[in-house]
Structure formats: C-alpha cells, structure tokens
Structure 1
Amino acid sequence: MLPAERRTKVADLVRSAGVVSTEALASELDVSSETIRRDLLVLEEQGVLQKVHGGATIAGSSVAVSEPPFDVRSEEELQRKQRIASLAAGLIPSGSLAFIDVGTTALLAAKALPHALAATIVTASLRVAVELSDRPGLDVLVTGGRLRKGELALSGMLATATLAEMHFDVALLGSGGLHSEAGLTDYYYDEAQARRAIIARSARSYILCDGTKFEKIAQYRVAGLADFTGVVVDEAPDEPLAKALQQSGAQIISSS
C-alpha cells in the first residue's frame, strides 16, 4: 500500500471512530506503530486530524487530557449528579447481577440504591464497595487489579480477567466525555478497556453523564453511541449529540 493511500485510510478511521489509538491503527493497517506515528505527524501538519497521547482524534476537537481529583469532582455539579444517580439507581432490578462503575456519579448512584434491594453488585471502585458493604440484601463483589490512588479505582489485567467471567443484567458506567462523533471516551486506558469489556458483557448498559460532558472528548475511546443501551442525563442534550444518540438507537433517560 502506498503511503498516500495508507494515510487516507488512517484519516477515514479517525473520522469514523472519533478517537483511535496508534496500536489500533497499526493493527488495522498491518504496519508498525512507528509508521503510523509518522503518518499522524504528516496528517496533523495537513490539518486532517489532531494527535493526542497514544493516537489521534478529529481535527479541531478539544481533547481533555486529565480530570480534577475525586474530592474536587465530588463537589462539582452535585445537584446534576444527584438527579442522574436517582434515575440510575432505579435501573437495577431485584435479583440481578449488576455492575457499578468508578467515579463520583456512580458512587452517588450506589448511595441511591433502595435499601430493600436484593442483588449482586460488582464494582471496580473501593468507594462503592464500602458504601454498599452494610446493605443486608446486597452481595458485593470487587474486581482485583492495580489501585488508582485518590479515585480508589481498580483496573488492569486482574480486573479484566474477573470481568471476563461475568455476564451482567445491567451496568451503570461513568464517562469522561460523550461526543456525537467520538462516542464514549475516558481518561485512563486500562479503565477504558474495562468499560468496553463490561458493555460487551451486559444485557443493558447505561452511561451516567451530566451536561458538562456533552460533546467533550477524553483521550481514550471506549465505545460508539450504538454500543450501549442508553444514557442517563440531568438534561436532554442539544443537537448534534441528541440526534446522534437517537440515530444510534440509544435511549435517553433524562430528569428534565
């Protein structure tokens, strides 16, 4: 394949996915990662795309490379997150095997679960596990993995191996950003991989996302809009995100 032809394919893949890793591009096109890095440099100089850590995204996108610490985020947009949490907590039926993600909104959703609920809850968040530890009707399972300090989140090979053995009735997942083209993205590579695995193993999967994350792109792609069941939001998103969600078949559950 000629370099020009390969770069056209790279550009098409980035436009299609929104965010793509260097490794994924190299695998798709059967070339080395170094070749892809050179292609990305050329395409960025041409204004076709934008390089980010570990890959590339749509040209002109505002890519967020980090998020504030947990304690800071827990105080931000609290009313928005509480409205989302209240809706999300009602999505876990009695007798189900459910996954609750890491993050501030997911923790609030765990707190909002009905005290009479009888279910098995799997989580990669030590904060969620502690919150639910004294609920008499809940069997709480915690994935293994490397601990991300501050967030008290577990990820990596052990977490992925644990998740591979399960099929969830429902999953409540956090978000770094939700974009009409890039889809669901996250700030941490291992956690993005884990979320992707959870979506694939869930009968129903819902993304918890307040309005500050609409049309925002974090560094690592998790899934397209058609890959999950729906989104739980504090307010209905504006165009083009609302249209993209509707076209993908994703349910929009809103408090407004």
Structure 2
Amino acid sequence: MLSETRRTKILEVLKSQGSAEVKNLSEILDVSEATIRRDLNMLERKGLLQRTHGGAISLIQKGTSFEPPYFIHKDRFIKEKQNIGMKALDFISDGDTLIMDASTTTLQIARFLQGKNNLTIITNGVDILNELSDKEGIVVMSTGGNLNKRSISLVGPVAEQFLKEVHADKLFLGISAISLKEGVTAPNIQEAHIKKAMIMAAREIIAVTDSSKFGKVNLFSVAPVSVLHRIITDRKIPEKDRKTLEKKGIKITIV
C-alpha cells in the first residue's frame, strides 16, 4: 500500500471513530506499529490530527465531508491521471481559450501540454501556474483570490468575480465526486462556488476524473451531470454509469 493511501485511510478511520490506537491502526492497515507512529507524527505536523499516548484523535468533525489534503491525493491513481491528461490534448485546438480548475488531474494536462500554439489558459491552480510558467506559446492567467492551503488553489470572491468577465472555449473540470442523482459535488463551499463560476464562463465543459470518483457524493452541490459535454476517465468507470451518462448525451472518452 502506498504511503499516501495508507495515511488517507488513517484519517478516514480517525474521522469515523474519533480516535484510534496505534495497535488498532496497525492491524487494520496490516503494517508495523513503527510505520503507523511515523505516519501519525507526519500527519500531526500537517495539522490533521492530534497525537495522544498510544494513538491519535481526529481534528476533523464527524459528519463533515472529508477532503484529503493535496499532498496525500496528488499521486493517487497517478497512471490513470497521466493517461487522462494525455488524452485531453486531443480536445485542445490552436487558439483555444481554456479554463483549468485546480485539480491533480488537470495538472497532468498542463504537464503534457505541448505542440499547441496561441493558447490562453486561465486557472486557479497554483501548481498549474508553476507548470505552465516556462511553456512557449501559452498566455497564462491567474484568477487571483485567496489561497486555500489544503487544496493549493485560489478561491473566494476575487476569483469568482474575475471568472464572471471570462468567455472561454473549454473548461477542463477536475472532479472529486460525481453521482447520477446528485451530480458533481465538492467537499467545501469555496470549491463549489469556484467550479460553478468556471462552468458559467465556458462554452464546453469537459470533466477529467479517474473512475474512483464515480458514485461518490460530497457535501456541496456544484452542478447536475447534464451540464457536462464530455467526461474523460479510465476503463474502470461503472458500466451502469457509463451507459446512463451516454443516454443523457454526454460523450464518454475511455483511456
């Protein structure tokens, strides 16, 4: 099990139970107690839990939506995200004005972006801004706004107001949860608001997400699935979801 996956599971157990002992976590995750102690110490330094004698307690209130920190989920499903990022290039044309929201999947699009000319890219993703800073043929624009340290993204009224002035060709939208009934949802209100503003600012909405996000629901609504024109995902997308989405007229691109 990757260390990032293990630490996410530790946070999920703590959120569910409120607290846990090292011995219990070691048994649940099938790793040594020494490994669990190192994980707990690292997560405490990040402000995600509080160490106690023999274990830890959660700093995430039970009943709230759990949003894994950026450093934990950045490398989860990395191969799928890379394949999605490469495939997304097929839907980018010279001269496009694009919006890329802050997500670990849209970051892969930015990393593979080459061979395109006269692009304008608007983003609230700090890592995406850094990734595009030395790429030729691209005008890079930041939404501005307040830094969300958990997601390493720019959010808030300044970013939302900026997007109200934008008319983009396409939005590449990262998704943390999508269900047929509840649509696209986000773990916090700021992320939900910025995604809504991006959707309103673009003519074509292309969702980019690995299949693990299907069937999940977060706390705050973003939009119904009907706003999406295309979804680029991996082959593990649930067959029922794929067929239903296609019946709604949404194009599904599998990588």
What's the TM-score, normalizing by structure 2? 0.72
Instruction: Tell me the equivalent position of 2:248.
Output: 248
After TM superposition, give the deviation of residue 217 of structure 1 in Å: 0.7
CA contact (8 A) 1:65 1:187 kept: yes
- Indicate how the Cα distance of structure 1 residues 252 and 64 shifts in structure 2: closer, same or farther if over 3 A, else same: farther
Q: Which amino acid aligns with 1:243?
A: K
CA contact (8 A) 1:124 1:143 kept: yes
Instruction: Tell me the equivalent position of 1:66.
Output: 66
CA contact (8 A) 1:184 1:222 kept: yes
CA contact (8 A) 1:89 1:110 kept: no
- 2:227 paired with 1:227: yes
Q: Which amino acid aligns with 1:197?
A: A
CA contact (8 A) 1:178 1:215 kept: yes
After superposition, residues 95-110 of structure 1 pair within 5 angstroms as 95-110=95-110
CA contact (8 A) 2:70 2:152 kept: no
- 2:106 paired with 1:94: no
Q: Which amino acid aligns with 1:89?
A: L
Per-residue CA deviations over 1:170-223 (Å, capped at 9, x if unaligned) read 110111111111111111212212212222221111111101111111111111
- Indicate how the Cα distance of structure 1 residues 115 and 150 shifts in structure 2: closer, same or farther if over 3 A, else same: farther
After TM superposition, give the deviation of residue 115 of structure 1 in Å: 4.3
Aligned pair count? 193
CA contact (8 A) 1:184 1:224 kept: yes
Q: Distance in 2 between matches of 1:176 and 1:72?
A: 14
After superposition, residues 101-180 of structure 1 pair within 5 angstroms as 101-180=101-180
CA contact (8 A) 2:96 2:169 kept: yes
After TM superposition, give the deviation of residue 67 of structure 1 in Å: 2.5
CA RMSD of aligned residues (A): 1.6
Q: Which amino acid aligns with 2:210?
A: D
Q: Distance in 1 between matches of 2:240 and 2:64?
A: 20
After TM superposition, give the deviation of residue 111 of structure 1 in Å: 0.6
Instruction: Tell me the equivalent position of 1:84.
Output: 84
Q: Distance in 2 between matches of 1:179 and 1:157?
A: 28
After TM superposition, give the deviation of residue 64 of structure 1 in Å: 7.9
Q: Which amino acid aligns with 1:153?
A: S
Instruction: Tell me the equivalent position of 1:58.
Output: none
CA contact (8 A) 1:90 1:113 kept: no
What's the TM-score, normalizing by structure 1? 0.71
Secondary structure of 1:207's match?
strand
Q: Which amino acid aligns with 1:228?
A: L
Instruction: Tell me the equivalent position of 2:186.
Output: 186
CA contact (8 A) 1:124 1:155 kept: yes
Q: Which amino acid aligns with 2:189?
A: Y
Per-residue CA deviations over 1:153-178 (Å, capped at 9, x if unaligned) read 01110001000001110110111111
Instruction: Tell me the equivalent position of 2:238.
Output: 238
- The percentage of counterpart residues that share the same residue type is 29
Q: Distance in 1 between matches of 2:121 and 2:64?
A: 31
Per-residue CA deviations over 1:71-120 (Å, capped at 9, x if unaligned) read 22122111111111111133221111100110111111111111443200
After TM superposition, give the deviation of residue 135 of structure 1 in Å: 1.1
CA contact (8 A) 1:122 1:140 kept: yes
Q: Distance in 2 between matches of 1:116 and 1:125?
A: 20
Question: Which structure would you say has the larger RCO, counting Cα contacts within 8 Å and 6 or more residues apart?
Answer: 1
Q: Which amino acid aligns with 2:124?
A: A
Q: Distance in 2 between matches of 1:191 and 1:90?
A: 27
Structure 1: unaligned runs, 5 residues or longer: 1-62
After TM superposition, give the deviation of residue 134 of structure 1 in Å: 0.8
After TM superposition, give the deviation of residue 66 of structure 1 in Å: 1.8
Q: Distance in 2 between matches of 1:204 and 1:116?
A: 19
CA contact (8 A) 1:145 1:159 kept: yes
